């Protein structure tokens, strides 16, 4: 194992959720078991020390990927490797050890904190489990150190506070502190700033960047907000209905987006500058029902350049974009055997 090896590898990971049906429907067609393909053959790597952004609209499966990486969910198919080890093969004791190396920050800090536990105890709690060698005094010192690192200063002032006594932004700092105390390698941040006010978002983003360097962290940053990925991420993966449609370096995705869905998403982001109002057209309709997604390329019914006979029948593969490293797209018209059908080929 070298530093060059990725920290996390997803190999053809699938996660299907059965759809509950009524009793009568079950009697009528007993064989059928409808399922939402929340994650449908996803392969990706998170390199050591990078921030991988995972962006998509609601229902794209981005949060499910996050949970699979943490093994909060077991995959239906495929493998999740953490530091080269398939997490599914680990015994509970070994899994617990690995778990201290990966932590999670969710969107709603109030839901992540026990209202009856002081924030000092909340942050000390993981240390109690994962660092039994520390005595109570050492643990408290450890908490103080982490509190200072996340900007809860002075730590003694905050240590005995309850979650309701501090602001939303400070609560999210507590959640981050709790994640950091076991000195993890990986933080999965699932919409960590989505509930915060604009001015607080800026502070949290800045904090996350600083902590990354200070604690040598690797982030999986899950978000619906493409503007913030630009501020934080090294690479970006775009998901649509359980599949990755495009992945690459931030620069490639923003300056050379290939997938029509990526282009639509980027164009739709409102820009805080009235001189840059959007003029281009938008894709038709909304994300289809994931229980019964469109055939072929999931995006084809909304795609402005979809070609009948190809896009609606064959599933596109995630293939490297010509001559460009570290940029892959899953579109028949951009990569693979059908590129000659691309109506935008001349200006590509």
Partner 1 sequence: MTEETIYSIRNLDVEYDTRVGGVRAVDDLTLDIRKGEILGLVGESGCGKSTLGKGMMRTISTPGHIVGGELWFEGVDLMTLSEKQMADVRGNRIGMVFQDPMTSLNPLMRIVDHLTEAIRAHYPDVSEQAARERAVEMVKELGIRPERIDEYPHQFSGGMRQRIMIALVLALNGSLIIADEPTTALDVIVEAQFLDLLRKLREEFQLTILLITHNIGVVAEVADRVAVMYAGKIVEVGSVDSVFLETRHPYSRGLLRSVPNIDVDHQELYKMEGAPPNLVAPPTGCRFHPRCPYAVGLCSTGEPDLLATDNPEHRASCWIYSDRDDRPKDRLA
Alpha-carbon distance of 294 to 57, in angstroms, equals 17
**Interface size with partner 1, residues (CB under 8 A):** 39
Interface with partner 1 in residues 256-285 (CB under 8 A): 264-278, 282-283
Chain position carrying tokens 């690797």:
218
**Is position 316 an interface residue for partner 1 (rule: CB under 8 A)?**
no
If the CB atoms of residues 225 and 312 are measured against partner 1, the closer one turns out to be: 225
Q: Which of the stretches 29-37, 102-110, 196-204, 337-345 binds partner 1 when contact is defined by CB under 8 A? A: 196-204
Alpha-carbon distance of 299 to 303, in angstroms, equals 6
**Is position 293 an interface residue for partner 1 (rule: CB under 8 A)?**
no
Alpha-carbon distance of 166 to 150, in angstroms, equals 14
Helix (H) or strand (E) holding 102, with range, is strand 102-105
Q: What distance lies between CA 48 and its chain's CA centroid? A: 16
How many CB atoms lie under 10 A from the CB of residue 46? Answer: 24
If the CB atoms of residues 19 and 337 are measured against partner 1, the closer one turns out to be: 19
Q: Which of 58, 89, 135, 340 binds partner 1 (CB under 8 A)?
A: 58
Chain position carrying tokens 């690192």:
149
Interface with partner 1 in residues 103-162 (CB under 8 A): none
**Is position 291 an interface residue for partner 1 (rule: CB under 8 A)?**
no
Q: What percent of the residues of the chain are helix, what percent strand, and what percent coil, each to the nearest 5? A: 35, 20, 45
Backbone CA torsion sign across 106, 273, 251, 60 = positive
**Is position 224 an interface residue for partner 1 (rule: CB under 8 A)?**
yes
If the CB atoms of residues 55 and 113 are measured against partner 1, the closer one turns out to be: 55
Would you give the binding string for partner 1 spanning residues 225-244, x where CB under 8 A is met? xxxx-xx-------------
Measured at the alpha carbon of residue 12, what is the angle toward residues 6 and 15, in degrees to the nearest 5? 115
**Is position 319 an interface residue for partner 1 (rule: CB under 8 A)?**
no
**Is position 169 an interface residue for partner 1 (rule: CB under 8 A)?**
yes
If the CB atoms of residues 197 and 344 are measured against partner 1, the closer one turns out to be: 197
Residues that bind partner 1 (CB under 8 A): 57-58, 167, 169, 197-199, 201-203, 205-206, 224-228, 230-231, 254, 264-278, 282-283, 286-287
């Amino acid at each position: 194992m070298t530093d060059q090896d990725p920290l996390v590898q997803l190999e053809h990971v699938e996660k299907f959720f059965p759809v509950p049906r009524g009793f009568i429907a079950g009697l009528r067609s007993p064989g059928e078991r409808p399922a939402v393909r929340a994650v449908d053959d996803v392969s990706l790597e998170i390199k050591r020390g990078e921030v991988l952004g995972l962006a998509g609209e609601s229902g794209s499966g981005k949060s499910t990927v996050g949970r699979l990486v943490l093994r909060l969910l077991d995959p239906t198919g495929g493998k999740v490797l953490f530091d080269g080890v398939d997490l599914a093969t680990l015994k509970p004791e070994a899994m617990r050890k690995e778990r201290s190396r990966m932590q999670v920050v969710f969107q709603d800090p109030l839901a992540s904190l026990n209202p009856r536990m002081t924030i000092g105890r909340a942050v000390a709690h993981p240390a109690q489990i994962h660092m039994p060698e520390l005595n109570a005094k050492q643990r408290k010192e450890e908490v103080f150190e982490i509190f200072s690192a996340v900007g809860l200063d002075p730590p003694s002032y905050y240590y005995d506070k309850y979650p309701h006594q501090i602001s939303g932004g400070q609560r999210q700092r507590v959640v981050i502190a709790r994640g950091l105390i076991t000195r993890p390698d990986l933080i999965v941040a699932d919409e960590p700033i989505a509930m915060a006010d604009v001015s607080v978002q800026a502070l949290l983003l800045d904090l996350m960047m600083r902590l990354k360097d200070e604690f040598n962290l690797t982030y999986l940053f899950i978000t619906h907000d493409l503007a913030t990925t630009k501020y934080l991420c090294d690479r970006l993966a775009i998901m649509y209905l359980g599949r990755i449609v495009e992945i690459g370096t931030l620069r490639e995705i923003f300056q050379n987006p290939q997938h029509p869905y990526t282009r639509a998403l980027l164009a739709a982001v409102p820009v805080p500058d009235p001189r840059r109002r959007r003029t281009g057209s938008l894709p038709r309709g909304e994300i289809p029902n994931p229980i019964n997604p469109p055939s072929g390329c999931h995006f084809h019914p909304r795609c402005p350049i979809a070609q009948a006979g190809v896009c609606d029948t064959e599933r596109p593969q995630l293939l490297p974009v010509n001559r460009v490293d570290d940029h892959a797209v899953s579109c028949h018209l951009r990569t693979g055997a059908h590129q000659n059908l691309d109506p935008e080929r001349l200006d590509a």
